[in-house]
Every structure is written in structure tokens, then in C-alpha cells.
Structure 1
Amino acid sequence: MEDYKQLLVKYWGYPDFRPLQLDIIESVAAGNDTLGLMPTGGGKSITFQVYSLSKPGICIVVTPLIALMKDQVESLNKKGIKALAVHSGMTGREIKLTLDNAVWGEYKFLYVSPERLNSERFLERLAQMNVNLLTIDEAHCISQWGYDFRPSYLNIVQARTILKDVRVLALTATATPKVADDIQDILGFKKKNLIQMSFFRENLNYLVRNVENKFSYLIDTIQKVKGSGVIYVRNRKATREVSDELRKNGISANYYHAGLSNLIRSTRQDSWLSGQTRVIVATNAFGMGIDKPDVRFVIHIDSPDSLEAYYQEAGRAGRDGKKAAAVLLFNNSDKTKLKKHISVAFPEVSNIKRIYDALCNYFQIAVGYGKGKVLEFSLQGFSQAYKFQQAMVYNSLKILQREGYVEFTEEVDSPSRIYFTVSREELYKFQVANAKLDDFIKLLLRSYTGLFTGYVTIDEELLGKRSGLNHEQVYNYLKHLRQSNVVDYVPKNRTPFVYFSKERVTIERLKISKENYDVRKKDYTARIESVIEYASSTLKCRSQMLLAYFGETDAPPCGTCDVCKAKESLQMTDFEFETISKRVRKIIEVPCSYEKLLIKLEGDQQKMRQVIKWLLDNKKIIYRVDNNLEWNAK
């Protein structure tokens, strides 16, 4: 067994582990099921990768993020570590070959999307594998109280019954105490074992700016500060608009969202990572798995739906430990928009049923059939065909997913790949009999390795340049080889998928449970309210509010956020300020004049006046028409 640190240096080149990484590795090595709670950028993947490399056998990694899955498999393979992936974007033949390789091919990592855990083929092969660790990434997805609950994650429990003696490592960046307990209960931990890093980020300055003209604030701020940054917006259209506006004002910027091609996304991401592009304007599709240490600012023009999402996205700033800022731009219209999200996220049950019925008809699936089907799905095309609003379709699919009827995988880039289905001897005979294809086959064999053992990603454009053929000719050659049963060729595509977890049922039998609708809606509403409270409050330290949300209730004020700085100017302690504020609020439960309020507030009159002025300036107390003061409940 190689020493953990030697493996870290050998494959990653890091001289030492980050905080908690070694603690988690040693906990698993001691035979304990472990939940690792590490903030974004903490290096979660190192924990299971280093541990598994130190042991014989293969590590199963469950993750819902197909793009991240592909990136990690590619990264491991480049390091000389054999890794595979199984997900809904693959053909049945690809999946079979991949699972065969996982059993017999001496691979170290098998990444798998959660819905695949439910297939008989996978479970049959799983029992034949020498598994040294079962890793659950994004583990909050297994809890119905997690902000991204996925019923397919419950399939992990079935995998555990097959892997009885295999320890489990669950990892997540954001989980409240309730969610952390739920994860461990569902996964059947013999004893609670949470290894957690504090959510406190000493170098990260949390700020909320109440501004009406966000463009103006954005340009003014970015022109004043140094370093690179990320600007988060809610929709794809806004990424382009904001990026264009920044460039018009001399700021190096570009935009990023899931609707761009894989090549464009990769090029823009690399340009930003290398420092050629200073600012990237993105939807929440950007950032997962990206570790750029020198991000000096993350600015949210639009508010996320939860503090979990905000903390994760804001946490992409300052990973090098140097000072950085996380800024949320917020005004009254944002509060209205957030509250509107509740009705958008939870369409009427009758509409959810209509969409399910239309979806089954769209794919011509009869009642009692369809279980296990994976079908390419255009959200836009489906919505237009049935005249549904896209947002309603999207959110209905999410609720149907929670109920376990379907899984919806958003846009995934699947590059072209091939696999030689014949032996080398059979291929040679084919080349002799088909002289016109001989040069092209030799080009394939020179350009790519591993073509006889598994599916290999290919680039038709590159093959065209090397062969002098145009794209259509390359495609026709590959198609001809497939038709001749020499290769299995899967052309690249870029589309979402719908996976039917159950047979189609009639509308009358379709159940939308109270737990997955009423209770989840209430929980979602509470998350929205937490975001509004965080953005609206001018009384409590921003860092304290975030930490309290994640269960750290005894954290001191950060001293650097906008609230702390405003209080500092009053030259009094937090305790003094909070005490006077509470007294003011209690007194004006019955509205009264400024003079009466001062009389009733006993103590240092100078401090009382300062706090009242601050509360008035920050619209915590307001004058009524009769000139009396009242607490502003908005």
C-alpha cells in the first residue's frame, strides 16, 4: 500500500493535503462509514481518489453531474489512472462494455449516474466487482430535505445490500444539520460520523448592495477593483446582455451557459482560467468542478433560490486564502421575483398530470410500458408541440422526478465515439477485402489507442484534416464501417434525456404526494424567505447569518461585511446595538413620536440617537402619516 501523501504528490503534485482531506481518508481507512462536509473548493474528490488508489479494487462514484463525471474521468485517464463512466447518454452496447471492463479490466474508478443503479444489468455486474469504496458525491441529493433531492439516489441503498462489507463515503459542500443527519440515516451508517469543516471563510467579505441600477453599479465597481471575477445571472439571455455591456465599457468579459456547445464552453472557461478573460458572466451551470484560486469577486445580479446555492456560488471567490468579496445586488423587485418563483416552481397538480400524459404520448408509450427507457428530449420542442410554458414543463418534470416516475437529465454534450467490434485478425481480413477503407482504418488506429477494449472519443474534424477528407466523407466512412459491423460508431449529439423510472400509469393513478408537493413547497418557501431575510437584514452580520443557517450558531461577527462596517461607525459593540434595537422595536409596537421614544429609552442618549438614526437610515423604522414612528415589517 502506498502512503497517502506519496500518492498525492505522485498524481496531483500537491506537497500536502488541504484541511480535512486526510481526516476523511483516515476515517474511511479505519473502517468507518463517513460523511464529509467540505465547502466548495475544499477538494472533495481527492479524498476518495487517494484512498481508493491505496487499495486493490475499484471505487464506485455516484454523481448526478454528467459533465463533471466526464471531466473527472478524462482528468484521471490523463494521469494514467484507469477510469470509466456509466450514464444515460450512453448506448446499451456502451454500457455493457463499460461494465464488463469494470469487472475484468483492472479499472480504479467507475462513475455512475444514480438512475443507472436501478438496472438489473448494473446490479448483476456490481456483485462481480472487487469494490474498495462506495462514494456518494452531492450526497444532499439523497435527503428529501436537501435542496436538490433526487429519488434515484435512494437506489444507493439497494447497492449497499450487494456491497455489504464495503464502506461508504458520502460527500457534499452544503448541508444543514437536518440534511446531514438524514443522509447518514438513509445510507445506514452504523454510527453517526460527520467530519465537517467550518463554513466560516475569514478572507471572504460578504456584501449586500441595495441598488436599482445594477448595470451602473457593476461597471463602476469592476473598474475600481482588481483581479478576475464571476457574475451570476438567472437566465441565458442575461449572460450575453451583461457581458456585452461590460465589454462596451472596456472590461474584458465573456458569457457562459449550458446552451453553448461543448467547444465554446471549454474555450471560454479556459480563457477565463488562464486570465485572458477577466470576467465571466454565467448562469449556475458555471463553476462546478472549477478550481481557480485567484478569483477576487463573485457578484450575483440575481438572487439564487436558496442560501445553499448562494454559499456554494459565492464560495468560488478567494480560494487562495487572500481577500475576496461576494456581493449580492438586491432591491424590492428582487423580493417580488423570488416570491413569484414559488408558484413557478410548483405548478398546479392538474398541470403536472397533463404534462406527464403529454410526455408519454409524445414518446408513444402505452400504459403499462416504458420502464427503463432512455429517450432524447427537447424541452423547447416538446413545449412548443403541446403549447406549454417551458418553465412549467421543466418544474413539472422535477416534481415527477421526485415522485420517481421519470428522471430528467439536462443538456449534455456527448462527443462522437467508436469501438472496434472485431478482432485484429478479422479487421486485417476486412482491410484486405476493402482496399478503399484501408488508409482510413490505419488513420484511426494511428490516431487513437484502446479501440479494441472500449469506446474511444474521436474528433471527425481532426480526422478530416489528417486525411484530407471533408466532414461528410469522414462521416460516410465511419457509417460504412458501422454498417459492415467493423465498428460501433456513436455520432456526437447534444440533447437532454428523459429516463422512465416506472411503467406509464393513467392520469387517475398518477400520484403527487403531499410530501413531494405541499411539504416540499413549504420547504422551498422557507428557503426563499431565508434568502430574502439574508438580503434584507441590516441588523445582523452577513457571515453570522450564513453560518447560523448551516448550524453554526455561536460564530462571532466577521467585522468586514456591510452590516458590521455600518455598526462599527456607531462605535458601540454588537451587543449594545442589538439590545437598543430590540428595546426600540418593543416600545414602538404602539407607534409613538421620536421624542416619546427617546424618553422611554433610558440610558446614554447619544447612543440611543445614533441607533435610532441608523434604524431610520436603513428603513427599519419609518414615519407614519401622523408623524409617529413604527417598525417597518417589510
Structure 2
Amino acid sequence: MIDKSLDILNKVYGFDTFRPLQQEIISSVLEGKDALVLLPTGGGKSICYQIPGIQLSGICIVISPLVALIKDQVDQLKKRHIKAVGITGGISYRELDDVLDNCIYGNYDFLYLSPERLQQTLVKERILKMNVNLIAVDEAHCISEWGHDFRPAYRQIITLKELHPRIPIIAVTATATKAVQEDIIAALELQNPKVFKSSYERSNIHYHIKKTGDKRQELCDFYTTQPGSSITYVRSRKNAVEFTLLLQQSQITAGFYHGGLSNKLRTRTSQSWMSNKLQVMVATNAFGMGIDKPDVRSVVHLQLPDSVESYYQETGRAGRDGNTSIAHFIYNRNDIEHAYNQFVKSQPTTEYLKFIYRKLSNYLRIPLGEGGEETHPLSFSKFCNTYQLNGMQAYSALNALDRFSVISLAQGYHRRSCIRFRESGTRIIDFAQNRPVVNAIIQAILRTYGSSQHHVLQINTALVATRSNTSEDDVNQTLQLLQEQELIEATITNTDLQITYLIPRDDERTINRFSRELERQNTLRLEKLKALVKLVTNTDLCINKMILEYFDEEIPKDCGHCSNCIKTGSRTAFEHQILSALQSQPLDSNEITQQINIDKKVVVAHLKTLLEQGKVNITSNNKYTINE
């Protein structure tokens, strides 16, 4: 069967050989066995379930926590001519019904959906009728209460096992401590699973941490000496823009990326960076998931992520081609306090969450007992201004509501245009007779939405622009013109969030049911941030070693190339160990490595320095001696 898998790997994905562990994982899945797969970012996790999903008869169901991940993977499969569909927020009951029917009768290979969808009766009824060949759980750490992104809805995935008890489950993630691994296996009820785990060590990534009083200068200095493709991570949209301008002023090609950009602008900027027209992408953590660019030479952090897991995943976007890359962390003393404010102090209490939930429901005019499965655009800034809310706290509260499956929160800037015709379609067409662009747009609106004077119509300006062969700016200008002529009534609202209520509004009981878990998660966030701060501020231990120990992996050797290892004190200590080893007898580099238990590349580098300084000599049989 693995020969067929290799054939798919070559014809569908364009690779001749599997990456480490992929072949063993795929073979195990094809044999019908449950599996827990821990591969680093860029290690090829998705292929481990996509190839069996293509190879086996039937449909593979993939559970994924983020709309962006679902869309990216579905788009990638479609480009490879694989039939795949994703169920994301904002879909009507009828559309959902059609999609699920297609999965039963339409010969689809993949169905991607969020764990929240498994709570819907219709979804469960239709999945029962599907010929399911495999259940894949992406970002499986989300199922664990000890994970850094715990989502209670992931506990509902066990529903799939009840519907299809004989179908194997493959759970994949990039980051999971031993406790998280055990929790995943227990929560998914995996039967005698084989755990496939590659080392968390990334020997080609050199971790550098720099404390500085001038981050702006340090960033520019770094890119002066590091010309390769890079990502710089920041924690706010404002910083993404500001640091991009700084780099551009320093003649470094850079663009910015955050969740508030239009889809068109995000796509254009991403493509420019992917094709190396831009050297640096300055981005919030909205950027990177699903991005597979092998030649990223550096990842820079200008502010603290929320956990070691997040830091590990983000730095793992460098060096996927196996070549030497740098993870450069630039921070100052204010960053740690800011991180505590952002990730710990801003976390909502039960009472604050109830407050925000009521304000949100009132703002969107959702009555008690109603609103389930309804989607609403939201301008976050206007929402905060209306109720004089602290933006950081309010956004943390919305994220908590999303995490606990009260709402589904999607980012993405767009204009929502609502119109009502005040005149007949004929009257409006007459007005546009001598205006070709206006006429094309009006015709597209009438063909798509009709010309009723009795209903308010929600217009998709991007769709109208496509159907009229114009631009969205043209569409909005036309709507403005028609409103000025009193031919239509128009409301154009700028929005940066989309809120879908997953359950009907019920102010008290909605929040009370997970209040205890909320407080526990807040405590866990504090512990995870403390672990990251310890990693950043500890200047004595090998950074690579500290990261591996966090993930319960121990290695005896220091890496020799992180900023802690190469600082003066460590260099002197290594050289002293080498000289001590040579006191008793001449040794070659392998013998020295065995004696002092340091990576051979580090030993060779220090031997070169000692030779240059005249402290050691090398004999004719390549043994080193102390120069007396």
C-alpha cells in the first residue's frame, strides 16, 4: 500500500521521498490504527492524513480550530485537483444542508469543519450516513486542558467515534508536553495508539536573545547583516505598520500583515513576500499558519508571545529547508510588564465576561433566547467607543467567548453595504444610460438582488464588482451617487470582525456553565507566561536546551550556537574544558568531544580559536596538545 502512497506523494504533492516519520505514520494509518503524531512546524503533518484520505475509499473528516487553517488547506487541496470542502461560520442552514449532501453523494475526499459543528444535530445525522475512511484531528493540543490553546468544543470530537466506532483517528500537533499527550489520548479514547514523535530540537535554528534599550535600532542593525527572507512578529496592528515604515525608511523591503486588512490586500502582500519581492513581513500572529516558505532565514520577535509553545511554533517558520537560520528575540524591560498586562491582567473574570456578553448582545440587538446561528458584522472600535470599553480587555473577552463556543469570532476587514431602492429599477437604469461604469454596476445589482422597494438588501460589493467587471471602489462610489440622487437609501459600514452566535442568548447560564474552567485557564496562562519569561531572561543556560526541557526532552549537550552559549563566559568555559582534557594526553577532536560532552561542531570551532591564539598545537596524526 505504501507504493500507492508514494505515487500520490509524487503526482499530487510533487515530492519524490517522504520526510522523516511520514512513511511510518501513513503505513500505520492505512492499517487502521489510531495514531498520535507530534511533528514540528513545517514537518509535514497534513500529508500524514491527506495521503491516506486520498488513498482510501470514502471521505476523511478533518477537525480544525481556525477558519484560516480550514480555508488554506481546502484551497491547497483544490489546487491539486482533490475534492475538498470546508464548513466555516456564516453559512446558512440550506447551504449547510447542501454541503453535507455533497459529502454523502458527491465523491468528496475531505470534509473540514470546526469542533463546534459537531454539536449540530444536522451535522451528526449526515456524518452518520457518510462513508468515512479516517478522522483527523488537527492542532490536537486544543483538546487538552493543559494545552496552550484549550478549546472545550474539542471534547465533542468523541462524537465522531460514537458515529463511526471502527474508523481510525489520527491526532496531529506540533507542540505537546507529556501531560498534554496523555490528555489527548484519553480525551479521544485512542485505542493502543502509536505515538510518532520527532525531536523538538531544531539544530539549524540558532536562538539569539537580545535585551536592548533601542529596539528600533537593533531591528535595523539586524537586517543590515541578515539579508534573507524574514518574518518579524509584533503584538498589535499599530506596531505592524510602524515597524514596516521604519524598515522601509532604512531601505529594507518590508510589508505588514494583520487580521484587519482586506482579503485582497492580505493576499497581495503575502504573494509579494512569498515571491521574495519583499524581504520582511512584519506581522501579528495572524500570519504564518498554512504558510510553507522553505527559505525563511530568520524570525524576529519584538514582543513576547503568550507561551513557549507559541514561540516555538513561530520560530519554526524559519529554516524549513534545513539550512542555518536565526530566531532573534529583541526585548526591553517594559516588554515583560506589557506581556503580563496583555496576557494575564486583561484576561476576563466571570463577571466581566457576563458584562461584555450583555453589551455585545445589546449592541447587535439580539433578544434573550434568540440569535443562535446568526452572523453579524462588527466594527470593534465602534463597539468599544459605544460603551467606553478598554480595547485589550474587551478583545480578550470576545476571544474567551469564542474559545468556549458561545460565539465564533472571525477577523477580516470588509465593507457591509445595505441598500433599499426608493425608485423602480427602470427609473434607475434611465439615470445611468450615459454612465457606462454606473450602468454596469446597476445591472449587476439588479441581476443579483432584484429591485424590490420593500426590502433592505445586503450587498456584497466584491461580488458586484466581479460581475460588473469594475472595482469595489467603483461600486461604493456608485452607491454614494445613487444615494445623493435619492434613488436608493444606502448604509455602508466598515467592519473588522464577524460574530456568529453559536447558541441563543442566555446571559447568566451561558457564562456560568464554564466559569470555573475560565478561572483555571487564567491561572494556566500565568504559568505559561512565567515559563516564557524565564526562557527569555535566563542568560546562563543554553536556550535550545531550555526549550527542549520544557517539552520533556533532555539532551546532554549545549547547542553551542545560541546567544547564551556563544557569549564570552561560555566561550571561556568551553576553552577551559578543552585545555583540561588535553592536560593528561594528546587527543583528537572526537576524543575531546567524548570527554567534555559538547557538540563536535562547537569543539572544532574552539580548537580553531585556540590554534590561532597559540594555546594548542596539532600533531602529524591530527591530535591536539597544549602548547607549553
State the TM-score, normalizing by the size of structure 2: 0.78
The 1-side partners of 2:346 and 2:115 are apart by 23
Deviates more, 1:501-510 or 1:384-393: 501-510
How many Å apart are 1:343 and its aligned residue?
Answer: 4.1
Give matches, 1:111-190, under 5 Å.
111-190=112-191
Partner of 2:63: 62
How many Å apart are 1:356 and its aligned residue?
Answer: 1.7
Answer yes or no: is 1:464 the counterpart of 2:468.
yes
Superimposed CA distance per residue, residues 337-375 of structure 1 (whole angstroms, 9 cap, x where no aligned partner): 122234443234322221122223334444444444444
Partner of 2:429: none
Of all paired residues, the percent bearing the same amino acid is 37
How many Å apart are 1:574 and its aligned residue?
Answer: 10
Query: Per the alignment, in what secondary structure is the counterpart of residue 539 of structure 2?
Result: coil
The 1-side partners of 2:477 and 2:565 are apart by 66
The 2-side partners of 1:110 and 1:193 are apart by 25
Partner of 1:397: 398
Gaps of 5+ in 1: 417-435, 445-456, 476-490, 577-634
TM-aligned CA distance change 1:415 to 1:131, over 3 Å? farther
How many Å apart are 1:383 and its aligned residue?
Answer: 2.1
Structure 2 residue identity aligned to 1:113: S
Partner of 2:624: none
TM-aligned CA distance change 1:513 to 1:93, over 3 Å? closer
Structure 2 residue identity aligned to 1:247: Q
The 2-side partners of 1:517 and 1:458 are apart by 39
Partner of 1:570: 572
Give matches, 1:258-297, under 5 Å.
258-297=259-298
Partner of 2:537: 536
Query: Per the alignment, in what secondary structure is the counterpart of residue 259 of structure 2?
Result: coil
Query: Per the alignment, in what secondary structure is the counterpart of residue 26 of structure 1?
Result: helix
Give matches, 1:178-257, under 5 Å.
178-257=179-258
Superimposed CA distance per residue, residues 103-145 of structure 1 (whole angstroms, 9 cap, x where no aligned partner): 1000111111221111111111101110101111111111121
Partner of 1:4: 5
Query: Per the alignment, in what secondary structure is the counterpart of residue 127 of structure 1?
Result: helix
How many Å apart are 1:77 and its aligned residue?
Answer: 1.6
Partner of 1:519: 520
How many Å apart are 1:572 and its aligned residue?
Answer: 3.8
Give matches, 1:44-123, under 5 Å.
44-123=45-124
Query: Per the alignment, in what secondary structure is the counterpart of residue 132 of structure 1?
Result: strand
The 2-side partners of 1:146 and 1:495 are apart by 28
TM-aligned CA distance change 1:81 to 1:175, over 3 Å? same
Residues 211 and 329 in structure 1, CA contact (< 8 A), matched pair in contact too: yes
Residues 89 and 408 in structure 2, CA contact (< 8 A), matched pair in contact too: no
Residues 25 and 196 in structure 2, CA contact (< 8 A), matched pair in contact too: yes
Deviates more, 1:335-344 or 1:530-539: 335-344
Residues 82 and 108 in structure 1, CA contact (< 8 A), matched pair in contact too: yes
Structure 2 residue identity aligned to 1:202: S
How many Å apart are 1:496 and its aligned residue?
Answer: 3.3
Residues 256 and 282 in structure 1, CA contact (< 8 A), matched pair in contact too: yes
Superimposed CA distance per residue, residues 505-534 of structure 1 (whole angstroms, 9 cap, x where no aligned partner): 343784165642332222111111111111
How many Å apart are 1:251 and its aligned residue?
Answer: 0.8
TM-aligned CA distance change 1:414 to 1:218, over 3 Å? closer
How many Å apart are 1:495 and its aligned residue?
Answer: 5.3
Gaps of 5+ in 2: 417-439, 449-460, 480-491, 579-628
How many Å apart are 1:390 and its aligned residue?
Answer: 2.3
Partner of 2:410: 410
Query: Per the alignment, in what secondary structure is the counterpart of residue 385 of structure 1?
Result: helix
Residues 403 and 512 in structure 1, CA contact (< 8 A), matched pair in contact too: no
Residues 412 and 496 in structure 1, CA contact (< 8 A), matched pair in contact too: yes
The 2-side partners of 1:537 and 1:362 are apart by 46
The 1-side partners of 2:577 and 2:109 are apart by 55
Residues 90 and 500 in structure 2, CA contact (< 8 A), matched pair in contact too: no
Query: Per the alignment, in what secondary structure is the counterpart of residue 570 of structure 1?
Result: helix
Superimposed CA distance per residue, residues 15-47 of structure 1 (whole angstroms, 9 cap, x where no aligned partner): 111112112211212222111111111111111
How many Å apart are 1:89 and its aligned residue?
Answer: 2.6
The 1-side partners of 2:332 and 2:470 are apart by 56
The 2-side partners of 1:99 and 1:494 are apart by 30
How many Å apart are 1:281 and its aligned residue?
Answer: 0.6
How many Å apart are 1:555 and its aligned residue?
Answer: 4.6
The 2-side partners of 1:509 and 1:18 are apart by 45
TM-aligned CA distance change 1:218 to 1:104, over 3 Å? same
How many Å apart are 1:382 and its aligned residue?
Answer: 2.5
Partner of 1:419: none
How many Å apart are 1:473 and its aligned residue?
Answer: 12
TM-aligned CA distance change 1:474 to 1:156, over 3 Å? farther
The 2-side partners of 1:415 and 1:343 are apart by 33
Residues 346 and 517 in structure 1, CA contact (< 8 A), matched pair in contact too: no
Query: Per the alignment, in what secondary structure is the counterpart of residue 145 of structure 1?
Result: coil
Residues 230 and 281 in structure 1, CA contact (< 8 A), matched pair in contact too: yes
Query: Per the alignment, in what secondary structure is the counterpart of residue 529 of structure 2?
Result: helix
Structure 2 residue identity aligned to 1:408: S
Structure 2 residue identity aligned to 1:550: F
TM-aligned CA distance change 1:539 to 1:205, over 3 Å? same
Aligned residues, how many? 528
Residues 262 and 414 in structure 2, CA contact (< 8 A), matched pair in contact too: no
The 2-side partners of 1:81 and 1:348 are apart by 45
TM-aligned CA distance change 1:402 to 1:274, over 3 Å? closer
How many Å apart are 1:414 and its aligned residue?
Answer: 9.0
TM-aligned CA distance change 1:492 to 1:241, over 3 Å? closer
TM-aligned CA distance change 1:572 to 1:9, over 3 Å? closer
The 1-side partners of 2:198 and 2:335 are apart by 32
Query: Per the alignment, in what secondary structure is the counterpart of residue 569 of structure 1?
Result: helix
Query: Per the alignment, in what secondary structure is the counterpart of residue 198 of structure 1?
Result: coil
Partner of 1:347: 348
Structure 2 residue identity aligned to 1:30: E
TM-aligned CA distance change 1:537 to 1:517, over 3 Å? same
The 1-side partners of 2:246 and 2:379 are apart by 31
How many Å apart are 1:387 and its aligned residue?
Answer: 2.2
Residues 399 and 516 in structure 1, CA contact (< 8 A), matched pair in contact too: no
How many Å apart are 1:330 and its aligned residue?
Answer: 2.0
Residues 350 and 511 in structure 2, CA contact (< 8 A), matched pair in contact too: no
Give matches, 1:311-330, under 5 Å.
311-330=312-331
TM-aligned CA distance change 1:397 to 1:546, over 3 Å? same
How many Å apart are 1:554 and its aligned residue?
Answer: 3.2
Structure 2 residue identity aligned to 1:91: S
Structure 2 residue identity aligned to 1:35: L
Superimposed CA distance per residue, residues 543-581 of structure 1 (whole angstroms, 9 cap, x where no aligned partner): 0010111110235211100111124421348999xxxxx
Superimposed CA distance per residue, residues 27-84 of structure 1 (whole angstroms, 9 cap, x where no aligned partner): 2122221111111111111111111111110111111221222222222122211111
The 2-side partners of 1:62 and 1:411 are apart by 20
Residues 67 and 410 in structure 2, CA contact (< 8 A), matched pair in contact too: no
The 1-side partners of 2:9 and 2:183 are apart by 32
Residues 306 and 530 in structure 1, CA contact (< 8 A), matched pair in contact too: yes
Query: Per the alignment, in what secondary structure is the counterpart of residue 326 of structure 1?
Result: strand
Residues 81 and 108 in structure 1, CA contact (< 8 A), matched pair in contact too: yes
Give matches, 1:3-22, under 5 Å.
3-22=4-23
The 1-side partners of 2:276 and 2:410 are apart by 29
TM-aligned CA distance change 1:343 to 1:313, over 3 Å? closer
Query: Per the alignment, in what secondary structure is the counterpart of residue 209 of structure 2?
Result: strand
Query: Per the alignment, in what secondary structure is the counterpart of residue 265 of structure 1?
Result: helix
Query: Per the alignment, in what secondary structure is the counterpart of residue 156 of structure 1?
Result: helix
Query: Per the alignment, in what secondary structure is the counterpart of residue 469 of structure 2?
Result: helix
Superimposed CA distance per residue, residues 213-259 of structure 1 (whole angstroms, 9 cap, x where no aligned partner): 01111111211223111111110011111111111111111111111
Deviates more, 1:558-567 or 1:363-372: 363-372
The 2-side partners of 1:574 and 1:33 are apart by 51
Give matches, 1:441-520, under 5 Å.
460-465=464-469, 471=475, 496-507=497-508, 510-511=511-512, 513=514, 515-520=516-521
